[in-house]
Amino acid sequence: MKNLVTLFCGALFGLGLVISGMTDTTKVQGFLDFFGAWDATLVFVMGGAIIPMFIAWRISAERKKSVLGGLIPQSPKTELDRALITGAILFGAGWGLSGFCPGPALASSSFGGLGGVTFLAAMLAGMVIAPPIIRAVKAAP
């Protein structure tokens, strides 16, 4: 049952990404172009995501288990450290340059988008090489 609910939620999320235009890299890059031909339509997509998520966080803060019986994980740490800020900058730069973030790239790769597949391959490569680089930086004097 959990797998069916997970599949349904993932499919609904992917469909929402496609319908909203989040898989269209030109639309995303237009949203990020504040000083050019700014396309503000994705503000509504973000609002449509933030509002229900805010409600879900409030509800889950009062619960120990999810509706399907799984444990609800604790909230992540909220401190701003160098790793979080660096990661946010790299994520934003990648999003701005490619027009993709992980969810839309996965959704677009399902209907033949070569750009999404290329982005996912590069993202996975970055995930593989990042930990050794981080360890080396931390070990450096």
Tell me the per-residue pLDDT of 87-126, one tens digit each, with 9 for 90 and over. 889 888 888 888 888 888 888 877 766 777 888 888 899 8
Give the pLDDT confidence score for residue 129 in this predicted structure: 92
Among 60-69, 110-119, 131-140, the least confident range: 110-119
16 pLDDT exceeds 80? Answer: yes
What's the rounded Cα separation, in Å, for the pair 128 and 131? 7
Q: What is the pTM of this model?
A: 0.67
The secondary structure element, H or E, covering residue 87 is helix 82-98
Instruction: Give pLDDT tens digits for 19-44.
Output: 888 888 888 888 888 888 888 888 88
Domain that holds residue 45: 2-139
Task: Give the number of domains in the chain.
Answer: 1
Contacts of 42 (CB under 8 A, 6+ apart): 20, 21, 22, 27, 28, 31
Six-digit token string for 42? 């994705």
**65-103 burial, b for 16+ CB within 10 Å, e for fewer?**
eeeeeeeeeeeeeeeeeeeeeeeeeeeeebbeebbbbee
For tokens 């988008």, name the residue: 113
